A and B are shown apart, each in its own frame.
Chain A
Amino acid sequence: NAGVMQNPRHLVRRRGQEARLRCSPMKGHSHVYWYRQLPEEGLKFMVYLQKENIIDESGMPKERFSAEFPKEGPSILRIQQVVRGDSAAYFCASSPEGTAAFFGQGTRLTVV
């Protein structure tokens, strides 16, 4: 039973480019969460999705960030026109019922 799969593991983007981060939840899990971890900061909630629905996006910046979890395929976190402050580790977590969340290995985004 594979765990939560995230790719790419490392992503380098120039300022102004777009970043797309992908997350495949564990088999049987229909709840997906995205968190961001900045250097010296704790993990911060960004968005919670179920298939084809955004349930809670209260932690998502209002501009440039979007997320989706289509009927088929992985969940995508999209960051448009990246800035240096977007450099962080982005983690995806999944759960079967919205309880304990199991995390992927993360995508480390570096904006140069």
Chain B
Amino acid sequence: EDQVTQSPEALRLQEGESSSLNCSYTVSGLRGLFWYRQDPGKGPEFLFTLYSAGEEKEKERLKATLTKKESFLHITAPKPEDSATYLCAVQANQAGTALIFGKGTTLSVSS
């Protein structure tokens, strides 16, 4: 069964304290891995898509990496405005084009 597991469930950081979020996946064949940010009461906001092991993408303080079994979202020198829930999702070859989501990591950054 295709599955996505995110850890930790919650993460508290001080402003400037870098860290990483983990997304482990089990799929029959990976078509793509997606990262989203979701603020309370809002819809997911697209961040990155990764397609193959070794691929990396960056956007401001965020950097996403991909291996054959997991993806990391690295947050460098976070600011309070980075506080949100970060969602990981995979698109599996045998799931059509639907995304399979993890439950997310809720990040809180305090000043």
Contacts and interface: CB of A to CB of B under 8 A. Distances in A.
Interface in A25-71: 31, 33, 35, 40-45, 48, 55-56, 58-59
A102 B44 CA distance: 8
Contacts of A108: 41
B43 A91 contact: yes
Given A103-B43, A104-B43, A45 B99 contact: yes
B28 to A, nearest CB: 15
Interface in B66-111: 87, 89, 91, 96-104
Interface residues of B, number: 23
Interface residues of A, number: 28
A33 to B, nearest CB: 7
Interface of B: 4, 32, 34, 36, 41-46, 49, 87, 89, 91, 96-104
29 contacts: A6-B43, A33-B97, A40-B103, A41-B103, A42-B4, A42-B101, A42-B102, A42-B103, A42-B104, A43-B44, A43-B87, A43-B89, A45-B98, A45-B99, A48-B97, A48-B98, A56-B96, A91-B43, A98-B97, A99-B32, A99-B91, A100-B34, A100-B46, A101-B99, A103-B46, A104-B43, A105-B42, A105-B43, A108-B41
